[in-house]
Structure 1
Amino acid sequence: MAVRRLLDGLYLGSGYLSALFLVAISLTIVAQIIGRFFGVAIDSTESAGFSLAASTFLGLAYTFRHDGHIRVTLLIRLASGPLAKVTELWGVGFCAAAMGYLTYWSFDLVYFSYVFGDISPGLLAIPFWIPRSAMAVGALILTIALIDELIGILRGQTPSYVANSSALFKDGGDD
């Protein structure tokens, strides 16, 4: 139970961070607009882009757990019994492996960005390892969520994205 609460807290915290980066996007754009009235150049394009990447990746796990991702359930609906479970396991397992691969290379990118001192070319000159860290951490949290889901399916539990899906899509109309 403690692990479940910890993981759910991780996914929820990641979702809140994602929302904060959405707020950061709006704040940087508003700052740019206000800056124009006073003749001050504020480069919101770069910081808004970095915030968008952070928001996207940090929001992946929370969105996955709450059935916000698009899933094509045609094969799973056609299968029944053990075949449906195998199909679900294959889909989640494949995604976990793919995200694990992406996560590894994301952290590799962060490391080498830090080592080589890569700096963004805009007015702010932000070290690239900072925004890339948000991408890597978001990918890691989604990988954890996928492995968590895989273990749950192996234990015979209903996948969280099925249990948390809205009533609108319970009839299978989400293909």
Structure 2
Amino acid sequence: MAVRRLLDGLYLGSGYLSALFLVAIAVTIVAQIVGRFFGVAVDSTESAGFCLAASTFLGLAYTFRHDGHIRVTLLVRLASGPLGKLTELWAVGFCAAGMAYMAYWAGDQVYFSFTFGEKSKGLLAIPLWIPQSAMALGTGILTIALVDEFISILLGRTPSYVENSTALFQGEND
């Protein structure tokens, strides 16, 4: 139970961080508009782009756990019993492996950007490892969520994205 609460807290915290970066986009855009009104140039393009990337990647795990991702369920719906479970395991396992690969290389990119002191090319010259960290963290948390889901399916539990589904898996299309 403690591990479940910890993981759910991780996914929820990641969702909150994602929302925080959406607010940061709005703040930077409003700052640019207000700056123009007073004759001050505020370049929000780059920072808004970094916030968008952070919001996107940090929101992945929370969205996955709450059935917000688009899933093609044609094969999963046709398979039932042990074959259905194997199909779910294959799909989630394949995604987990892909995300683990992406998380590794995103972390590698952060490491080398930090090591070499790379900076963005815009007016602010932000160290690139800072916005890249959000991508690495987001893909890492999604990898954890996928492995968590894989283990749940393996143990015979209903996947969270099925429990939280609003239509497709609740008998509406049976």
Q: Between 162-171 and 84-93, report the one with greater CA deviation.
A: 162-171
**What's 2:139 paired with?**
139
TM-score, length-normalised on structure 2? Answer: 0.97
Is the contact made by 2:162 and 2:169 (CA closer than 8 Å) also made in structure 1?
no
Q: RMSD over aligned Cα, in angstroms? A: 1.2
Tell me how far apart the structure 1 counterparts of residues 64 and 172 of structure 2 sit (CA, whole Å): 17
Classify 1:172/1:103 alpha carbon distance in 2 versus 1 (closer, same or farther; 3 Å). Answer: farther
Gap runs ≥5 in structure 1: none
TM-superposed CA distance for 1:38, in Å, is 1.2
TM-superposed CA distance for 1:134, in Å, is 0.5
Q: Percent identity?
A: 79
TM-superposed CA distance for 1:168, in Å, is 6.6
Is the contact made by 1:73 and 1:172 (CA closer than 8 Å) also made in structure 2?
no
TM-superposed CA distance for 1:45, in Å, is 0.4
Gap runs ≥5 in structure 2: none
Structure 1 segments of 4+ aligned residues over 2 angstroms from their partners: 167-173
**What's 1:74 paired with?**
74
Q: How many pairs align?
A: 173
TM-score, length-normalised on structure 1? Answer: 0.96
Classify 1:127/1:136 alpha carbon distance in 2 versus 1 (closer, same or farther; 3 Å). Answer: same
AA aligned to 1:18 is S
Q: Name the SS for the 1:121 alignment partner.
A: coil
Is the contact made by 2:14 and 2:62 (CA closer than 8 Å) also made in structure 1?
yes
**What's 2:162 paired with?**
162
